[in-house]
């Protein structure tokens, strides 16, 4: 199993550009989430999905869109990049856990480091 | 809203010294989880505690869950340079605060540096 994969690893954007951060998992997890990590701010939830076709907003959703057409993929779209979106982005997945062990444990991808100029 | 607080934010120790990080939640948690993030890496799950007063050990790491299920601690005995990183605690987001099953709220982490 590859676990959670993210592409690209690094990206530089100009203000106003759009892009999609890719995330895929091969563990058949129901839940997938996007976090951003900024110095001193910990991990903040952007959007999450509890299954294919279902998404919802987290703590800091503004400027980002998501969709979940399959169980495996959960892309994050930056609509019009701003310098405030310079951050490290982590995708994570978890399984529902009922009767299958530890609940809500997040499996993180390696991250995408984004710089917006 | 729901908060998870960790102290200290930074800790610098000499190799061989002990280290402790504390986690406090504004709400009672059904479970608490600990993650470690190495410099330049991604958070990796360490352990989950579920029962009130639970204590679990992983080699030199000791994890505790408070009796009221609102606080937790991670203690490392005789730190090594391999312990360097940021340690996060996390708990399920309460449905009362708009959370959904599967969501976690993370503390801001304690960054540990170890001087050889």
- Measured between beta carbons, the chain B residues lying within 8 angstroms of A42 are 88, 106-109
Condensed to tens digits (0 to 9), the pLDDT of residues B6-63 reads 999 999 999 999 999 999 999 999 899 999 999 999 999 999 999 999 999 999 999 9
Q: Between B41, B88, B100, which is nearest A48 by CB? A: B100
CA atoms within 13 A on the CB side of A103: 18
- CA B70, CA A84: separation in Å to the nearest integer? 33
Chain B nearest CA to A28, separation (Å): 14
Q: State residue B100's pLDDT score.
A: 65
- CA B112, CA B13: separation in Å to the nearest integer? 8
**If pLDDT is split at 50, 70 and 90, which confidence band does B98 have?**
low
Mean pLDDT of B51-77: 97
Q: Which of A25, A108, A62 is nearest to B44 (CA)?
A: A108
Q: Is the pLDDT of residue B95 over 90?
A: no
Q: State residue B97's pLDDT score.
A: 62
Q: Which residues contact A48 (CB under 8 A, 6 or more apart)?
A: A31, A32, A33, A34, A55, A56, A58, B100, B102, B103
Q: State residue B1's pLDDT score.
A: 83
Chain B nearest CA to A80, separation (Å): 26
Report the mean per-residue pLDDT for chain B: 93
Q: By the 8 A CB rule, do A4 and A72 touch?
A: no
Mean pLDDT of B66-71: 96
* pLDDT tens-digit profile, chain A (117 residues): 789 999 999 999 999 999 999 999 999 998 999 999 998 888 999 999 988 999 999 889 999 999 999 999 999 999 999 999 999 999 999 876 554 445 678 899 999 999 999
- Measured between beta carbons, the chain B residues lying within 8 angstroms of A89 are none
- Measured between beta carbons, the chain B residues lying within 8 angstroms of A50 are 100-102
Q: State residue A100's pLDDT score.
A: 47
């Amino acid at each position: 199993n590859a676990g959670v994969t993210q592409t690209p690893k690094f990206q530089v954007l100009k203000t106003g550009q759009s892009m999609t951060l890719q995330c895929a998992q091969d563990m058949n997890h129901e839940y997938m989430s996007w976090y951003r990590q900024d110095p001193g701010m910990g991990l903040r939830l952007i959007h999450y999905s509890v299954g294919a076709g279902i998404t919802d907003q987290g703590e800091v959703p503004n400027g980002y869109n998501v969709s979940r057409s399959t169980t495996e993929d959960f892309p994050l779209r930056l609509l019009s990049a701003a310098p405030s979106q310079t951050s490290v982005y982590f995708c994570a997945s978890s399984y529902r856990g009922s009767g299958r062990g530890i609940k809500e444990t997040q499996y993180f991808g390696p991250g995408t480091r984004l710089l917006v100029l | 809203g729901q908060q998870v607080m960790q102290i200290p934010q930074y800790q610098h120790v000499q190799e061989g010294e002990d280290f402790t990080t504390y986690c406090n939640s504004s709400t009672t948690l059904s479970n608490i989880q600990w993650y470690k993030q190495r410099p330049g890496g991604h958070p990796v799950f360490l352990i989950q505690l579920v029962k009130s007063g639970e204590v679990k050990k992983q080699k030199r790491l000791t994890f505790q869950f408070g009796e009221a299920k609102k606080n937790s601690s991670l203690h490392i005995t005789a730190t090594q340079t391999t312990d360097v990183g940021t340690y996060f605690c996390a708990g399920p987001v309460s449905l009362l605060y708009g959370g959904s099953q599967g969501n976690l709220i993370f503390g801001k982490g304690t960054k540990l540096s170890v001087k050889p």
